[in-house]
Structure 1
Amino acid sequence: MLGFIWAQLRGRAGRSAALLTGVLVATTGFVVLTGATTTSRLEVTGAVERDTRAAYDILVRPHGARTPLEVERGLVRPNYLSGLFGGITPAQYEQVKQVAGVDVAAPIAMLGYSTSSVSVRFDLTDAVDRSLDQQVIRVDPTFTAERGLSTAPSRPRYVYVTKRPLLYPEGGDPNASSIPYSDGRMYPYDLQCGDVPREVLPDGRTQPICNPHTIGRSSDDGWTSERENWSVDTVRLLPDGRFEQNRWLSGRAERVATDQLVATYRVTVPFLLAAVDPDAEQRLVGLDDAVIEGRALRPDDTAIDTHLPMHVPERSIPVLSTSRPYLDATVRSALTRLPQARPAGLSIPDLEQALSGATGVKVGTEEYALADGYLDLLAAGISPTGCCWGELQTIFQAGAPEYDRLPDGTLRAVTRAPLAAKTFGTENMYNFNGRPWSADDTGFRPLTSVPMQPTGATIDQVRNWRTVGIFDPEKLSGFSDLSRLPLETYEPPRLDGADERSRQALGGQPLEPSGNPAGYVSAPPLLLTSLAAVPKLMEGSPSPTRTAPISAIRIRVADVAGYTERSAERVRLIAERIADTTGLDVDLTIGSSPAPQTIELPAGSLGRPDLRLAEPWSALGIASVITKAVDRKSLVLFGLVLVVCALFLGNAVSAAVRDRRPELAVLACLGWSARRIAALVLGEVAALGLAAGLLALGLALPLAAALGIEISWYQAALAVPVALLLALVAGVVPALRAAGAHPAAALRPMVAPARWVRRPRNLFGMALVNLVRTPGRTLLGAGALAIGLTALTLVSAAAYAFRGAIVGNLLGDAVSLNVRGADTLAAVVTVVLGAGAVADVLYLNVRDRAAELSTLRAVGWTDTELSRLVGYEGLLIGTLGAVAGAGLGLAGAAWLVGGLPTALIMVAAAVALGGVLLTCLAALVPAALLRRLPTARLLAEE
């Protein structure tokens, strides 16, 4: 039998070589592609392990802190701590620390917004006409924020410039009926104007120049904002051209002469205050290492009780202040000179009427960013008179925004009316800051006032914070950009435009906080104090957070350096222990990644239009999703490549068996049994498969090296059994058909008639009849193409899953770069093999029907018509395979991705269309063979 097999292979060298080449190509391609897929999987798992090390592995929050969106989508909004105030007791924190395996447990207590003030400075030097003895410079401020989209005009401020001498108050008892001035005399205290400068008239008399110093406080309506403040500052223009102003320095009044006239106004800015454990924060993110000036926080830092002048009690806590305010707000001012205005001696009502009605000349504009004002404070250095302090009489806690979910998955933020003035408190002699101007805008968060003193306290106490050090948030311990989550406590807020209209409105810049505590974009905590200071700070406060001040505990697990299955399981077990011990909400943040969400922000009341924004939310546990998706994808591609190779070879072996129909019939007549005939066919196929495997063993390694794919000797050695197995599987059906061959089979037509098909009336109908006459062959070609298109659809689905709406995270986007090349190569090869199978089917149809086609040519059919007939057959096979492949691909994509988005349906449709076009191109080769048919000889044989 072996000798007969060898003789058969040698006698039909051309057919044997063609079949050997087919097995060799299929086997080598399979080994190389599986090596590429394995390599890509290793790259993916390596990238996941390398790039998923975040600041902490477990997030512990109060019971019930999870939002419906977290439960439904596995997403956490950025800077989630900005809306989470208290809920975890110190006792629960101690329980968490005692859980075995916890390396670092870093608590953070979000206390709320404290109001501070920064100064805006306008240079009015060039606005002054030095030829005038008296003039008023009107400053018309307009507050802007959110990249200039929100604007709010303010009441004007005035600077009175006079060449006449001025007298300045020297302090004294504000309860006295008269106060001392710089000329040594006592002047009556003006109940309306207060202790203000007095202008010396030419006749020696003096007149007060009232300054309302309006803070806007009212026990009925609450606090007004800077927009409603107005003032009149007085400056003397000295004979030498300098400007003299009265300033309070080191607790007493001093006259200061400068070359420039600079008007300085205070603007209220809220900063989010949080308390941390300094030691735990240092171990978690390196907080001490981020301190750039002053000192770091100490675990024993607590509130300090002192007395201000006039025996006013003060309770102050030490804080670290940020070096980056993350504040997008600017004050733009138009300057107008009022040469006829004379404010001296006027009461406040008359003064306002006179100044507002005065005519003037526009003399310029000035602009100053509030962030620059904050940086000017930092530049002054840490001191009682420099940087920095803020109020803690009342703090303001902003809750989380709420959303309406639109049909396309976009989250539309729910608006709230602008904050009422009473939200920021009513009149209190120790409230020094007004309401932030930005609070007049549309809000998106509920705001709650939390008093820091007992309700109805009879003794007022100044409660504030003072800076002991400055830290730079960007100097905190860094992590991979793919795992730097918006869950990080100090992550800067950035919302980019999600469509072209929004990007143009924002000028290509991200949307940042405007300073409105109820605004959508919230800054991270920019003031940090020690957790030890909280009990004394909130002593007597009616707030429920006084006994449970901790908002969250961030946990790093020991012996975890990145995402692996072992690490994930270790973190999960520790998280379960924490949840069982404390009853708190526990989430795994290991293996998470930023997942941008589209947010629709309704228009604001200060002019900002509707915006569509991309906000970097966090997808929890996404590393597990990615690795599982890669495993599924690899398994599917392995199977598809193997199946398409088997179909390709099966078609080739079937063609070889059909060529030998007369020979097999003769063998059957000579007495060969069915088993012996089957063994002959399988023996030939196995011999070719074994030879192809050995050749593939030698070709796989250099080919993989040339393509940059790592393949081990073990993987290359698999070529031999794979080739043998493929050859045997491909030869089983043809061998069985050969075994059942009847001697009369050699006389039967190669193509059976399609009896149930109606007589065709056109070329398209004839093409359909021809395909139905060989249903097995037709289905084989369509199936091979369908498998290739299924693979390509699945690769597109995998890329979509890693990049887009289902997983939708930066880690998945980066991972897709690793898997896309190898997967696309595998899918393209399978599609090409499928197209080759279609071309082979068409070629066999042409060869088997050569006599028929020659007859058609003899009766007048042109080569163009015959080529169109073959082309229609290719179109029908391609359509059948494309529809089947797209359907299977979509089913697999739904399993791989976990859903069936519209985008994937469009991708599948595009892949199907491409498959049809490819089969039409493949049909060109057998169509070209029609011109080479020997018509005369075929008709003579027929």
Structure 2
Amino acid sequence: MLGFIWGQLRGRAGRSVALLAGVLVATTGFVVLTGATTTARLDVTGAVERNTRAAYDILVRPKGTRTPLEAERGLVRPNYLSGLFGGITPAQYEQVKQIAGIDAAAPIAMLGYSTSSVRVRFDLTDAVDRSLEQQVIRLDPTFTAERGLSTAPSSPRYVYVTKRPLLYPEAGTDPNDPLFPYSDGRTYRYDPQCGQVPREVLPGGGSQPICDPHLISQPANSGLASERQSWSVDTVRLLPDGRFEANSWLPDRAQRVVTDELVVTYRVTVPFLLAAVDPDAEQRLVGLGGAVTEGRSLRLDDTTTETSIGPGAIERSIPVLSTSRPYLDVTVRSALTRLPQARPAGLPIDELERALSRATGVGAGTEEYALTDGYRDLLAEGISETGCCSGDLQTVIQAGAPEYERLPDGTLRAVARPPFDHALYGGQNNLNFRPRPWLADDNGFRPVTALPQPPTGANLQFRLWRTIGIFDPEKLRGFSDLSRVPLETYEPPRTDGADERSRQALGGRPLEPSGNPAGYLSSPPLLLTTLAAVPKLLAGDATPTRTAPISAIRVRVGDVAGYTERSAERVRLIAERIADTTGLDVDLTFGSSPAPQTVELPAGSFGRPDLRLTEPWSALGVASVITKAVDRKSLVLFGLVLVVCGLFLGNAVSAAVRDRRPELAVLACLGWPARRIAALILGEVAALGLAAGLLALGLAFPLAAALDIGIGWRQAALAVPVALLLALVAGLTPALRAARAHPAAALRPLVAPARWARRPRGLFGMALVNLVRTPGRTLLGAGALAIGLTALTLVSAAAYAFRGAIVGSLLGDTVSLNVRGADTLAAVVTVLLGAGAVADVLYLNVRDRAAELSTLRAVGWTDAALGRLVGYEGLLIGALGALTGAGLGLAGAAWLVGGLPAALVLVAAAVALVGVLVTCLAALVPAALLRRLPTARLLAEE
């Protein structure tokens, strides 16, 4: 049998070489693509391992705080802490710390917003006309926020500039005395309608008060009034030397101040979010102590101190660490107008307001000041008892989480709420010394409540915070942006425009927090205190927050670096222990990555339009999904290559069997059993497969080196068994068909007649008839091409239509960039093998119909006409395969991304066109063989 097989292979050297070349190309391509895919997988796993170490691995939250939306989509919203106040007890925190294997367990207790103030400075020096003896500069402030989209005008402010001498009230007298001393040594009766205001000296020696409504005694609960509703009159003297003189109040006396510039300062109410942490745990988690730029960091023993500030009054002071970056997008702009005819001295409040509002003036410029600049100016004063930085905690406001409506396309629409009750800032039960922020009058997205006031008992209690240190959040220990988890303790949430209209409205910049406690975006805590200070701060709080103040625990597991299966299992086991021990909600943030979500923000009442935003939520378990997807992708690529190779070789072996039909029929007549005939075919195929495998083993290394692909000896050695197995599988069906063939089969035509009665018209119709006569062979060629084009469509869609967005996370996008080379190589090779299968089909059609084609040539058909006939056949097969492959790839890509964008359709159309062109090029080879047909011999045999 072996000698017979060798003789057959040597006797048909042309077909044997062709079959050997087919197996060699398929096997070598398989081995090289396997190496490319393995290399890509190593790159992917390496990228995942390098970029999945986040600030913490496990997020522990109170039971029931995981929203249905987060659970359904496997996400954590970026502002999860801003709406979470308490829920975890100190005992549960101790249980978490006791679990073995935890490197750091950092609790954070969100306490609420403290109303403080920031100075806004306007330089009016250039607005003053120094030739005038008296004038008023009117400021018309406008508050702006949210990239200038929200604006609100404020009540005007006035600065009276006079060259006449001024008398200033002195401090330190009995407040019950109706006579008040002034800087000229005389006493003047207190005017309850004007307050303790400067007096302008008249030319005759007398004086008149200059009323200022801002200095009139106000009720203690100023929070009921908006900061935009307050108007004031400041008084400044222009000295003969060109400098400016004003009065400055100190704790125990008034002081006259002379400056070269006229700078007017106003205070703007700013909500400061306060949170409590464990200093040691925070140091282990992010290195908080190393980010302190001034003062000192928090210590475990930092707690609330109580000081008597007078009869029946106690002050509770809470030590805090203040951030150097407030992350507030609020600006105050003011138009300046000079009123040269205004004379406010001696006018009562009502008449003064009418006179100033009706006065005519001329424009004197504009001024603009950002609240972030005011905050930095505050920090520049340095940390001291009288300087930076302190604020009251009489009113502490807590804002809940936003709610969403889910739109049909998956977009989240934030549910708008009306402005919250102003009594929360100041009312019968909430003592507040500052007006409410201007944005508190805007529509919000969060429910707002207020902590109860501390019990007064026998003493009136005042709460305030005092800065002991300043830290820069950007100096904290960094982590990969690709594995960023919600760390809003130190960084603000930022959202970008999701469509062109929103991006233009935002000026191409991200939307940032506005300072509104009920706003959609919440700024990070600007103040950090210790957990030890919380009990006294919450004294009198009857809500569960007092007994369970901790909002979340961020856990980092020890002995874990990048993402590996071992590390993932270790984190999972510790998370299970935490959940079983404490009963809290536990999320595995290990291996997570930002996953942008589209959020629609309804319009605000201060001008902000509807916005469509992209918000970076955190997708959990992305690393696991990616590594598993890479394995599945590898299997799919292997399968595609093998299927296309199998189709290519199966067609080639079938052609070899068809060429030997008469010979096989003779062997059957001589008594050869069916199994021996099948063994003969399989033996020949196996010999060629073995030879091709050995040759592929030798070619794999230089080819891989040329393509910069790593292949090991074991991987290259697979070429031999793969080639042998592939050849046997491809030859099995033709061998069985040959074994079952009847001797009379040699007399049957090689092609079947077409099953329709109409005669074809033209070359195109004849080409279609020819393909229908061999449907199996036609579908085989089209199917092989379709498989390759399906893969190429998917790869091209990921590379050009979505730029990696199919994966849906930043880490996934980066990984997709790393694997495109291997994916594209595999897809291109499968397309080329498919085109080779089409060329083989056309070649076999020419061989099987050689007599017919010779007859057509004998009756006058030119070689060009016959070439066009073969070309049309190739075009039809290519179009069938291209449309099928591009359609399947289009459907697969649309399913992955959940939509059918125009870019995807264009990519699929381009791939289909490429497939048709490649097929037409492949058809040139069999078309060229027509000229070599021996017309006379074929006609004689016919």
- Which piece of structure 1 moves more, 256-265 or 845-854? 845-854
Q: How far apart, CA to CA, are the structure 1 residues paired with 2:47 and 2:932? A: 56
Tell me by how many angstroms 1:814 deviates: 0.6
Counterpart of 1:661, as a letter, is R
Query: Which residue pairs with 1:494 in the alignment?
Result: 494
Secondary structure class of the residue paired with 1:82? coil
Tell me by how many angstroms 1:12 deviates: 3.1
Tell me by how many angstroms 1:856 deviates: 3.5
In the alignment, is residue 126 of structure 1 matched against residue 135 of structure 2? no
Query: Which residue pairs with 1:103 in the alignment?
Result: 103
Secondary structure class of the residue paired with 2:820? helix
In the alignment, is residue 344 of structure 1 matched against residue 342 of structure 2? no
Q: How far apart, CA to CA, are the structure 2 residues paired with 1:732 and 1:115? A: 83
Query: Which residue pairs with 1:355 in the alignment?
Result: 356
Query: Which residue pairs with 2:371 in the alignment?
Result: 370
Q: How far apart, CA to CA, are the structure 2 residues paired with 1:98 and 1:13? A: 77
Q: How far apart, CA to CA, are the structure 2 residues paired with 1:923 and 1:706? A: 29
Query: Which residue pairs with 2:94 in the alignment?
Result: 94
Query: Which residue pairs with 1:245 in the alignment?
Result: 246
Query: Which residue pairs with 1:65 in the alignment?
Result: 65
Tell me by how many angstroms 1:250 deviates: 5.4
- Which piece of structure 1 moves more, 770-779 or 502-511? 770-779
Change in CA separation of 1:619 and 1:156 when aligned onto 2, cut-off 3 Å: same
In the alignment, is residue 227 of structure 1 matched against residue 228 of structure 2? yes
Equivalences for residues 262-301 of structure 1 within 5 A:
262-301=263-302
Query: Which residue pairs with 2:398 in the alignment?
Result: 397
In the alignment, is residue 409 of structure 1 matched against residue 401 of structure 2? no
Secondary structure class of the residue paired with 1:708? coil
Q: How far apart, CA to CA, are the structure 2 residues paired with 1:219 and 1:235? A: 28
Change in CA separation of 1:251 and 1:7 when aligned onto 2, cut-off 3 Å: farther
Tell me by how many angstroms 1:927 deviates: 3.7
Secondary structure class of the residue paired with 1:546? coil
- Which piece of structure 1 moves more, 385-394 or 14-23? 14-23
Query: Which residue pairs with 2:770 in the alignment?
Result: 770
In the alignment, is residue 164 of structure 1 matched against residue 164 of structure 2? yes
Please list every run of 5 or more consecutive structure 1 residues that lacks an aligned counterpart in the other structure: none
In the alignment, is residue 541 of structure 1 matched against residue 541 of structure 2? yes
Query: Which residue pairs with 1:379 in the alignment?
Result: 380
Between the two proteins, what is the percent identity of the paired residues? 83
Change in CA separation of 1:515 and 1:47 when aligned onto 2, cut-off 3 Å: same
8 A contact 1:286–1:476 mirrored in 2? yes
Q: How far apart, CA to CA, are the structure 2 residues paired with 1:779 and 1:274? A: 69
Equivalences for residues 540-689 of structure 1 within 5 A:
540-689=540-689
Secondary structure class of the residue paired with 1:317? strand
Query: Which residue pairs with 1:256 in the alignment?
Result: 257
8 A contact 1:138–1:158 mirrored in 2? yes
Tell me by how many angstroms 1:468 deviates: 0.7
Secondary structure class of the residue paired with 1:147? coil
In the alignment, is residue 511 of structure 1 matched against residue 493 of structure 2? no
8 A contact 2:150–2:607 mirrored in 1? yes
Counterpart of 1:771, as a letter, is L
- Equivalenced residue count is 939
Tell me by how many angstroms 1:764 deviates: 4.8
Tell me by how many angstroms 1:672 deviates: 4.1
Change in CA separation of 1:424 and 1:665 when aligned onto 2, cut-off 3 Å: same
8 A contact 1:452–1:538 mirrored in 2? no
Q: How far apart, CA to CA, are the structure 2 residues paired with 1:84 and 1:866? A: 79
Query: Which residue pairs with 2:811 in the alignment?
Result: 811
8 A contact 1:79–1:487 mirrored in 2? no
Q: How far apart, CA to CA, are the structure 2 residues paired with 1:938 and 1:489? A: 87
Query: Which residue pairs with 2:698 in the alignment?
Result: 698
Query: Which residue pairs with 2:318 in the alignment?
Result: 317
Q: How far apart, CA to CA, are the structure 2 residues paired with 1:114 and 1:426? A: 16
Tell me by how many angstroms 1:544 deviates: 3.2
Secondary structure class of the residue paired with 2:40? helix
Query: Which residue pairs with 2:722 in the alignment?
Result: 722
Q: How far apart, CA to CA, are the structure 1 residues paired with 2:898 and 2:157? A: 61
8 A contact 1:591–1:622 mirrored in 2? yes
Q: Deviations over 1:860-913 (max 9, x none)?
A: 556565455434433443454446546765787799x5x854359846676556
Q: How far apart, CA to CA, are the structure 1 residues paired with 2:899 and 2:359? A: 65
8 A contact 1:215–1:229 mirrored in 2? no
8 A contact 2:244–2:260 mirrored in 1? yes
Change in CA separation of 1:415 and 1:787 when aligned onto 2, cut-off 3 Å: same
Change in CA separation of 1:311 and 1:453 when aligned onto 2, cut-off 3 Å: closer
Tell me by how many angstroms 1:915 deviates: 3.7
Query: Which residue pairs with 2:448 in the alignment?
Result: 447
Q: How far apart, CA to CA, are the structure 2 residues paired with 1:607 and 1:38? A: 55
8 A contact 2:405–2:412 mirrored in 1? yes
Query: Which residue pairs with 1:176 in the alignment?
Result: 177
Please list every run of 5 or more consecutive structure 2 residues that lacks an aligned counterpart in the other structure: none
Change in CA separation of 1:86 and 1:804 when aligned onto 2, cut-off 3 Å: farther
Counterpart of 1:416, as a letter, is R
Query: Which residue pairs with 1:81 in the alignment?
Result: 81
Change in CA separation of 1:23 and 1:481 when aligned onto 2, cut-off 3 Å: same
Q: How far apart, CA to CA, are the structure 1 residues paired with 2:274 and 2:164? A: 47
Secondary structure class of the residue paired with 1:21? helix
Change in CA separation of 1:612 and 1:278 when aligned onto 2, cut-off 3 Å: same
- Which piece of structure 1 moves more, 624-633 or 94-103? 94-103
Query: Which residue pairs with 1:114 in the alignment?
Result: 114
Q: Deviations over 1:95-143 (max 9, x none)?
A: 2222222221111000111111111111111111111111111111111
Change in CA separation of 1:827 and 1:468 when aligned onto 2, cut-off 3 Å: same
Q: How far apart, CA to CA, are the structure 2 residues paired with 1:541 and 1:181? A: 46
Query: Which residue pairs with 2:33 in the alignment?
Result: 33
- Which piece of structure 1 moves more, 824-833 or 884-893? 884-893
8 A contact 1:842–1:874 mirrored in 2? yes
Q: How far apart, CA to CA, are the structure 1 residues paired with 2:457 and 2:426? A: 15
Query: Which residue pairs with 1:829 in the alignment?
Result: 829
TM (norm. structure 1) is 0.94
Change in CA separation of 1:781 and 1:112 when aligned onto 2, cut-off 3 Å: same
Tell me by how many angstroms 1:854 deviates: 3.3
Tell me by how many angstroms 1:738 deviates: 3.0
Q: Deviations over 1:498-533 (max 9, x none)?
A: 122222221111111112111112111121000100
Tell me by how many angstroms 1:793 deviates: 4.8
Secondary structure class of the residue paired with 1:213? helix
Q: How far apart, CA to CA, are the structure 2 residues paired with 1:241 and 1:798? A: 69
Tell me by how many angstroms 1:215 deviates: 9.6
Tell me by how many angstroms 1:917 deviates: 4.9
Equivalences for residues 875-886 of structure 1 within 5 A:
875-882=875-882, 885=885
- Which piece of structure 1 moves more, 917-926 or 321-330? 917-926
Counterpart of 2:700, as a letter, is A
Counterpart of 1:20, as a letter, is L
In the alignment, is residue 524 of structure 1 matched against residue 524 of structure 2? yes
8 A contact 2:754–2:769 mirrored in 1? yes
Change in CA separation of 1:531 and 1:623 when aligned onto 2, cut-off 3 Å: same
8 A contact 1:121–1:262 mirrored in 2? yes
Q: How far apart, CA to CA, are the structure 1 residues paired with 2:221 and 2:298? A: 40
Q: How far apart, CA to CA, are the structure 2 residues paired with 1:564 and 1:599? A: 33
Q: How far apart, CA to CA, are the structure 2 residues paired with 1:465 and 1:914? A: 69
Query: Which residue pairs with 1:902 in the alignment?
Result: 900
Query: Which residue pairs with 1:333 in the alignment?
Result: 334
- Which piece of structure 1 moves more, 877-886 or 834-843? 877-886
- Which piece of structure 1 moves more, 751-760 or 399-408? 751-760
Change in CA separation of 1:634 and 1:267 when aligned onto 2, cut-off 3 Å: same
Tell me by how many angstroms 1:461 deviates: 2.0
TM (norm. structure 2) is 0.94
Q: How far apart, CA to CA, are the structure 2 residues paired with 1:165 and 1:307? A: 41
Counterpart of 1:10, as a letter, is R
Query: Which residue pairs with 1:734 in the alignment?
Result: 734
Tell me by how many angstroms 1:675 deviates: 3.4
Counterpart of 1:183, as a letter, is D
8 A contact 1:160–1:235 mirrored in 2? yes
Secondary structure class of the residue paired with 1:117? strand
Q: How far apart, CA to CA, are the structure 1 residues paired with 2:937 and 2:252? A: 120
8 A contact 1:145–1:514 mirrored in 2? yes
Q: How far apart, CA to CA, are the structure 2 residues paired with 1:237 and 1:364? A: 20
Q: Deviations over 1:789-824 (max 9, x none)?
A: 343355468779997666410000011112221122
Q: How far apart, CA to CA, are the structure 2 residues paired with 1:279 and 1:215? A: 48
Tell me by how many angstroms 1:89 deviates: 1.2
8 A contact 1:136–1:161 mirrored in 2? yes
